[in-house]
Amino acid sequence: MKVAVRYYTKTGNTRRLAEAVAEAVGAKALPISTPVTEPVDVLFLGNSYYAFSIDPEVRDFVRSLDKSKVGRIVNFGSAAMLNSTYKKVKAEADRVGIPMDEREFHCKGEFKGIHKGRPNEEDLQAAAEFARNIIK
Ligand SMILES: Cc1cc2nc3c(=O)[nH]c(=O)nc-3n(C[C@H](O)[C@H](O)[C@H](O)COP(=O)(O)O)c2cc1C
């Protein structure tokens, strides 16, 4: 199975999750500024909530994906208060005709002193376990 990992981060939390996911699936964690050029079965996409939405860069990244090159998107990330960006990412994936896996990984993410240290070691291990299950 061919797998790629992309992430967007403002304060480093999603990068740490992406590195755990990438290591678990034998891929590289790369920022969304790196386009997906080779065909992949699974694209793990790490992203988060900022002011109640996904960042416009994440939206534009999903819109730029070529559906003939991406089998499905697997969402992962963290947020301070909201549950998950799944619906927002899916809305963009639907526009370009790329299926979203119904499974996703989500945990709390530190923000201004709330949820200090999250994602923590336990979160990173859970993200890795989640990713291994996706590709098995
Ligand atoms: C500018 C900014 C705006 C945020 N807005 C929200 C929000 O609306 N809802 C929420 O649940 N978390 C919000 N957060 C918290 C982030 O989702 C959380 O800290 C996440 O772990 C950040 O991931 P990152 O470090 O990869 O950017 C915000 C964080 C930042 C920096």
> How confident is the model over 29-69, as pLDDT tens digits?
999 999 999 999 999 999 999 999 999 999 999 999 999 99
Give the H or E element holding residue 44.
strand 40-48
> Which residue do the tokens 């994602």 mark?
119
**Using a 6 Å cutoff on CB, does residue 79 contact ligand 1?**
yes
Overall average pLDDT of the 78-107 stretch: 97
Q: Is the pTM of this model over 0.75?
A: yes
Ligand 1 mean position, distance from CA 68 (Å): 32
Domains and CATH numbers, the chain: 3-135 (3.40.50.360)
Among residues 121, 40, 28, the alpha carbon closest in space to that of 74 is found at 40
Residue 34 near ligand 1, beta carbon < 6 Å: no
Please name the residue ranges forming H helices in 1-85.
Answer: 13-25, 56-64
How many angstroms separate the CA atoms of 11 and 117, rounded?
Answer: 12
Return the pLDDT at 83. Answer: 82
Q: CA-CA distance, 53 to 51, in Å (whole number)?
A: 6
% of the chain exceeding 90 in pLDDT:
99
Residue 82 pLDDT exceeds 90? no
- Judge residue 33's burial from the number of C-beta atoms within 10 Å of its C-beta, 0-12 exposed, 13-18 middle, 19 or more buried: exposed
